[in-house]
A and B are shown apart, each in its own frame.
Chain A
Amino acid sequence: MLVAAVLGGSGACSSDHAPNAAGSAASARPSAAPSEAASSAATSGLQAAPLDGAALLARFQCARCHDGTGEAAVAPEKHCAKCHEAIGDGTFKAPADALADWKPHVMHLRFVPSLSGVGRLVKTEWAARYIAEPFDLRPDCHPQMPRLAIAPEEAEAIAAHLAGSAAAAGPAPSGSLTRGRQLFEQKTCSTCHVYSGAGTPPPLAMDPLKTPRDRALAPDLRFARERLVPGNVAAYLLDPKSVKPDAAMPKLQLSAEEASDLATFVLQAPLADVRPADAPRRLPVLERAVGYDEVASRVLHKICWHCHSQPDYARGDGGPGNTGGFGFTARRLDLSSYESIASGYVDLRGERRSLFSKAPDGEPMLLSVLLARQREAAGVAGEPRGMPLGLPPLPPEDIQLIETWISQGHPR
Chain B
Amino acid sequence: MRSGNLLWVGMAVGLVAIAPARDTSACGNEVELRLTPAKLVADGEKLIAEGKARGAMDHVRAGLNNGQPLKFGENGLIDRGLIVAARAVVRSDGELEMLKGTHVDAKKEAPPVEGGPTQRVKNLSGALETLKAAAAKKGDDPVAQTDLGEALARIPGQEAEAKKILEALEDKGVMASAWGYAALAQLRAQTNREQPSWLSAALVASEQAPRTVALERCSKMAARKEICTGEKLADAMTKVPLPPSEMSRSRGRGLDSRE
Please list the residues of chain A having a beta carbon within 8 angstroms of any beta carbon in chain B. 95-96, 311-313, 332, 337-340, 342-344, 346, 351-354, 356-357, 409-412
Which of A339, A352, A357, A412 is B222 in contact with, Cβ under 8 Å?
A412
Cβ-defined contact, A410 with B220, below 8 A: yes
* Chain A residues within 8 Å of B172, by CB: 344, 351-354
Cβ-defined contact, A342 with B176, below 8 A: yes
* Chain A residues within 8 Å of B45, by CB: 337
- Which B residues from 139 to 167 make CB contacts under 8 A with A? 140-143, 146
Q: How far does the alpha carbon of A332 sit from the alpha carbon of B175 in the complex, in Å?
A: 15
Cβ-defined contact, A339 with B220, below 8 A: no
* Chain A residues within 8 Å of B77, by CB: 312
Residue among B76, B174, B223 facing the most chain A CB atoms (10 A cut-off): B174
Contacts known (A312-B80, A313-B80, A343-B141); A95 close to B174, Cβ less than 8 A: no
B194 interface residue per 8 A CB criterion? no
Residue among A95, A96, A312 facing the most chain B CB atoms (10 A cut-off): A312
Cβ-defined contact, A411 with B220, below 8 A: yes
Cβ-defined contact, B220 with A342, below 8 A: no
Smallest Cβ-Cβ distance to A357: which chain B residue: B173
Q: Which 10 A-B pairs have the closest CB atoms?
A: A312-B76, A354-B173, A343-B142, A339-B176, A344-B174, A409-B220, A411-B220, A342-B176, A343-B176, A339-B143
B177 interface residue per 8 A CB criterion? yes
Which of B36, B76, B79, B177 is A342 in contact with, Cβ under 8 Å?
B177
Q: How far does the alpha carbon of A412 sit from the alpha carbon of B178 in the complex, in Å?
A: 9
* Chain B residues within 8 Å of A356, by CB: 173
* Chain B residues within 8 Å of A354, by CB: 172-174
* Chain A residues within 8 Å of B114, by CB: none
Smallest Cβ-Cβ distance to B147: which chain A residue: A339
Smallest Cβ-Cβ distance to A340: which chain B residue: B143
Cβ-defined contact, B76 with A313, below 8 A: yes
* Chain A residues within 8 Å of B222, by CB: 412
B189 interface residue per 8 A CB criterion? no
Cβ-defined contact, A312 with B177, below 8 A: no
B221 interface residue per 8 A CB criterion? yes
CB distance from B168 to the nearest CB of A (A): 9
4 new A-B contacts at CB < 8 Å, known A352-B140, A409-B217, A412-B178: A313-B76, A342-B175, A353-B173, A357-B173
Smallest Cβ-Cβ distance to A1: which chain B residue: B38
* Chain A residues within 8 Å of B229, by CB: none
CB distance from A5 to the nearest CB of B (A): 18
CB distance from B139 to the nearest CB of A (A): 8
Which of B23, B79, B220, B223 is A96 in contact with, Cβ under 8 Å?
B23
- Which B residues from 174 to 213 make CB contacts under 8 A with A? 174-178
* Chain A residues within 8 Å of B80, by CB: 312-313
B25 interface residue per 8 A CB criterion? yes
Residue among A96, A312, A342, A410 facing the most chain B CB atoms (10 A cut-off): A342
Q: How far does the alpha carbon of A73 sit from the alpha carbon of B68 in the complex, in Å?
A: 35
Cβ-defined contact, A344 with B142, below 8 A: yes
* Chain B residues within 8 Å of A409, by CB: 217, 220
Cβ-defined contact, A311 with B220, below 8 A: no
Smallest Cβ-Cβ distance to A342: which chain B residue: B176
Q: How far does the alpha carbon of A389 sit from the alpha carbon of B49 in the complex, in Å?
A: 31
Cβ-defined contact, A412 with B221, below 8 A: yes
Cβ-defined contact, A95 with B143, below 8 A: no
* Chain A residues within 8 Å of B175, by CB: 342
CB distance from B150 to the nearest CB of A (A): 12
Q: How far does the alpha carbon of A356 sit from the alpha carbon of B173 in the complex, in Å?
A: 8
Q: How far does the alpha carbon of A95 sit from the alpha carbon of B49 in the complex, in Å?
A: 27
Contact with A along B108-150 (1 / 0, CB 8 A): 0000000000000000000000000000000011110010000
Smallest Cβ-Cβ distance to A356: which chain B residue: B173
Q: How far does the alpha carbon of A311 sit from the alpha carbon of B138 in the complex, in Å?
A: 11
Smallest Cβ-Cβ distance to A343: which chain B residue: B142
* Chain A residues within 8 Å of B223, by CB: 412
Q: How far does the alpha carbon of A412 sit from the alpha carbon of B224 in the complex, in Å?
A: 9
**Can you sample 19 A-B contacts with CB below 8 Å?**
A95-B23, A95-B36, A313-B76, A338-B49, A339-B49, A339-B146, A343-B141, A343-B143, A344-B172, A351-B172, A353-B172, A353-B174, A354-B172, A354-B174, A411-B220, A411-B221, A412-B178, A412-B220, A412-B221
